[in-house]
Structures are given as structure tokens and as C-alpha cells.
Structure 1
Amino acid sequence: MPSSAAVVPAGKVVVLDPGHNGGNATNAALINRPVPAGRGRTKPCNTTGTATAAGYPEHAFAWDLAQRVRDLLAARGVRVVLTRQDNKSVGPCVDRRASIGNESAAAAVVSLHADGSASAGAHGFHIAYSAPALNAAQGEPALRLARTVRDKMVAAGFATSTYIGSRGLSARDDLAGLNLSQRPAVLVECGNMRNADDAAALSSAAGRQRYAAAITDGVLGFLG
């Protein structure tokens, strides 16, 4: 269970965005079409994601983790909206995922992923946020959300990334879901699926529950 004692104001909405989707790999034409990515750029609609050396896919990890975080937040009175409803469909595209957060007037948007660094020695989590900010929500609120989730994950015993960002935070200008968000939004890369130790935690139900509790603590701390 999450340990945060934060009191969540009534009516708060959190959007959880589990990365990728189970049907993406067999629908290349759909997921490769370009969509708006912010800052005048386009990106492919979506991607297939990565996987552990043993074949556990990122899309399955993200979907399982999102359900765990959803249940923990709902138990604390938070209304949770998911950007996808199963792990067998295609997409939605990255611009549509951002729109769901905007349309929901979300107090926080948290995109859930695991990374796939080519270096098996690279390990640890990092949290991306949009920078330079394109609107007020992407400024101090998003950075505070990133820092709060980071601090709760560190407190739960998760190591910060050894290969991306600084002290678990990564400023990004190339992620469509963050660029297009009008709400405080972050993207959590929970670990490197190509690293044996990270993969063990990401692949186990107990590990995913630990991630879920820490991320939930971070969100509750931000909301409170």
C-alpha cells in the first residue's frame, strides 16, 4: 500500500497513460503514420516498445502497472482515467493520448514506460518532463510532479538512472505526450528492460506492485 499521508482534495482526476499497446506490432501502417508531436514536429503515431531479454514486453508491463496504480489511487478517492482500455488494441496515437489528459482536466498526467537501453549495464529509473516549457502547466507544476514522484521512488529503494538525465530527472523537448499536454505531465521510465536486475523487478508481480506503490505515493504527494 502507498505510504503517503497526503489528503487528496475531492474531485481530483489523474490520467494514467500506459505506454504502447499489445496490437501495435501487427499494425505497422497504423502506428507508423505521422501525427503532431508539438514544437512544429511530427512523430509516428505510436511504437511497439521494448522487451526484456526473456521476452517480457514493455506494453504488458505498462498495462499491468497502470492497473495497479489506478487501483491504489482509486482507493484514496482519486478519479482515474486510462488512455487505453486493454492490452490488445492499437494505439492510441501519442497526440490522442495527450488530448485525453487535456480533455479530462487532469490534475496530473503520468505516462508509464520501461526503457530499452542497448547497454545492459545501464540501470535505474528516470522521469521525463517537457522543457523548455510550452505553457504554464509544463513549467513549475510539471517539474514539481516529476520531483515528487522521483523522491518517492528513491524513498522506496529504486535507483535513479545511471545513463539518462541527472538525479532521476530528464528534460525533454521531443516527447509528443509531454509537448502537447496542457496539464502537469511526466513520463516515468521505470527501469532498463535490458538490464538483468531491472528486468527482474519489472517482470515480477511483486516488483510491479513496488513500482505502483511508489508512483502512487508521488502522485498523492503532488495532489496534496
Structure 2
Amino acid sequence: MNSVINLYLCLVCLQLQDRLALKEKELETKLLDSQLQEAEQEACASERAAALVEEIYKAQRERDQAVMARLHLANEERDEALLRAKKLQEATLELENIKPEESDVDLEELLNRVNSADSALAIEQSGTAIIEQIQRARERRSQITSEEMKAVIEERDAALTRPTLMQILFKRFQKSYNHICPPVICSLNYSVNIISPTLQNRKNNYIT
């Protein structure tokens, strides 16, 4: 009887051990699953963190590129504004040397348009009008200078072709003198013709 009881107890113990081993395996499996899930979650978190960091870096690069583009555009606009200001200043200095009668439009009105302009387009249009005004004034000056030079040259040529007052008076005096004293002139001419060979012979003898 005791042996049967002992055998039964042994069987119960074996069953309990099997159940315990099974429970332990289940716990180990759950623990492993939990650790695996944590690892997967950590990996996902790392991936999300890496993706987030990459997005941050990308946004930073795009922001830097946008800032550099705006700076480049601002520098170009500044250079263009400085160039327009320089041209406008040169045009203003040129306008100061233009006489009022050389201009078709009142220069003061053009300058007032530039000063009162409320946009870059208006300034550019007024500046273009000023530059055209300067060009027309330069062309007029060149034309006037050319005409003046032509007139001076014509006067010079006319002065060279017509006889001078001294030449006219000398010719009149010569005619009057020849009419009054022709024998004296002939005698003087004869004396000169005689004296000239004599002086030449003396010169040749002196040289030899």
C-alpha cells in the first residue's frame, strides 16, 4: 500500500515538475519576447531618431542654402542699386553742364521725377530719360562744334584767297609810281643789271 502511495506521489511530483518546467519555459519565452520587443522598439526608436536627425540636418542645409541665396540676391540688388546710383550721379553731374537751351525737357523736372519716384521702375524710366537727354545734348554740341569749325575753315580759306589790304595798296602805289616816274625805274633797273655782274666777278676773284 505504501509503495502504491509512494508511486502515486512520484507520479504527481513528476507531473508537477513537468508543469513547472513548462511554466519556466513559457516565462523564458515571454521574457525573450519582451526583450526582443524592447530591442525592436529601441531599434525603431534609433531609426526614428536617425531619421529625425537626418531631417533636421536636411532642413538646416535647406535653410542655409536659402539664406545664402537670399544673401546673394541681396548683394546683386545692392550692386545694381549702387550702379544705378553711380550712373544717376554721373548723369546729374552731366546735367549740370548742359545749358537750358540745349534741352527739350526741363532738367529740373526730370530730377524732380527721380526724387519723387516711389518705385525702382519709375527711377529707371526717369534715369533713361535723363540719359537720352544727355545724349541729345551731346549730339547738338558736336553738331554745333562741327558747324563752327566748318565756318572757321571757310573763313580761313577765303582770307587766304583774297588779297590783303597791304597788297592792294602796294599795287596801287606801284602803278602810280610807274606812271609818274618810268624813266627813273628803267634807269635803276639798268644800273642793277650792270652792277650785279661786277659784284659777282669781284666775289669770284676774292675767293680764288
TM class by shorter chain equals under 0.3
Structure with greater proportional helix content: 2
TM-score (norm 2): 0.20
The structure whose RCO (Cα within 8 Å, separation 6+) is larger is 1
TM-score (norm 1): 0.19
**Considering only CA atoms, is the larger Rg found in Structure 1 or Structure 2?**
2
